[in-house]
Structures are given as structure tokens and as C-alpha cells.
Homo-oligomer: A and B are copies of this chain.
Amino acid sequence: MKKIEKKTEDKRAIYYWDRLQNYGRKYKWFHWPSVEAFLNLVYTYDVISNHFASKIQHTGLSRSALNILNIISRSDKKGCTHKELSDLLLVSRANVTGLVDSLVRKNLVKRQDSQHDRRLSIVKITKNGEELLNSVLPSYYLEMRRLASDLSNDERNKLNDILIKLRLKIFDLYKDKKKTESN
């Protein structure tokens, strides 16, 4: 049996909930209910992220590589420019080059020059890439369904509403900042 170094119990939550709650009080603005929510968000993300990463480990792809491949696949014959990928992935153009390079090396996508705008490089999925996706996504989606199956419709809706609310709140911060910067 393979040695498992990583612990799968919720040690971290126990640790934090025990100690941080009191410790943080020395900071004026520390507000435990807020902090608790963010900690839960981060830890749950972390656990989910590791779980899905292990689900696709056998493909040799990371979660973001699969993500890119998925995006490109969805663009169909049209393909996807580096710029689009950069926007969607929140990754710099410089790094998109590297990410696409690694997929090209694995023969999962190919680059094509655009005929309309010769600055553009268009990325399309290969047969190989499609086959890989088709071999991975079914169990991926099944797993999402299984994990979410314990949530009621109401809970799922609440979760979505709250997460969107938090996200938009942050976007608003940056909008405001942009405005004041340009004035």
C-alpha cells in the first residue's frame, strides 16, 4: 500500500477554529464571523481542487491545462486567440504562450495563423485533444453531480447567490479604483 503523507482529515479546520478565534481578537478589526466565512471558502476550495486534480492525474494534465483545453474545445472550428485565453484565464499573455506551448508539445492543440489579422495566432483543439477530453469529462461531471447531490436546490441557489455577491463586490472595488485613477 502506498504511503499517504497528506492527511485527509479536517485537521486544519480544527486547528484554526480552536486557536484563531481567540488569537485574532487582538486585532481591532478582526471579526470572527467574516474570517470564518473566508476560511471556509479557502479550505473547501482547496479540498475540492486537490480532489479534482487527483481525478485527472492519470492524464498528465493539470487542472488549468484541462481548463484551457476545455475552453478551446468549446470554441469549435473557430478557435481561440491567445488574447481570449488570457482574458478568460486571468493569465498574462506571456504565460499563455507557455501554457499553449506545453499543450502543443503534447499534441492536444495546434496553432494557426489568422488570415484576417496577421498578428493573431489561433489555437484549435486536435483530434487527440478531443479524445482526451471525451475520456476525462464524463467522470469529471459525474463527480461534480455526486458531490453536489447532498445539497438541496435551495442550498445550491443560496450558495450561488452568495458567491456571486462576494465576487461582484470585489469587482466593484476595482471599478472604483479605475475611475479614481483616470481622474
Contacts and interface: CB of A to CB of B under 8 A. Distances in A.
Interface of A: 1, 4-13, 15, 19-20, 23-24, 27-31, 33-38, 40-51, 74, 86-90, 92-93, 137-139, 141-142, 144-145, 147-151, 153, 155-156, 158-160, 162-171, 173-175, 178, 181-182
A47 B38 CA distance: 12
A8 B175 contact: yes
B153 A90 contact: no
Given A8-B171, A88-B12, A34 B147 contact: yes
A46 B149 CA distance: 24
A170 B148 CA distance: 11
Nearest to A15: B88
B181 A1 contact: yes
B7 A46 contact: no
B170 A48 contact: yes
Given A41-B163, A166-B44, A10 B138 contact: no
Q: 3 tightest CB-CB pairs across the interface, nearest first?
A: A34-B148, A8-B174, A29-B142
B90 A12 contact: yes
Nearest to A4: B178
Given A7-B90, A48-B170, A90-B6, A156 B37 contact: yes
B5 A92 contact: yes
A1 B175 CA distance: 15
Contact of A37 (B4, B47, B159): B159
A153 B162 CA distance: 12
Contact of A169 (B27, B30, B150, B163): B150
A153 B33 contact: yes
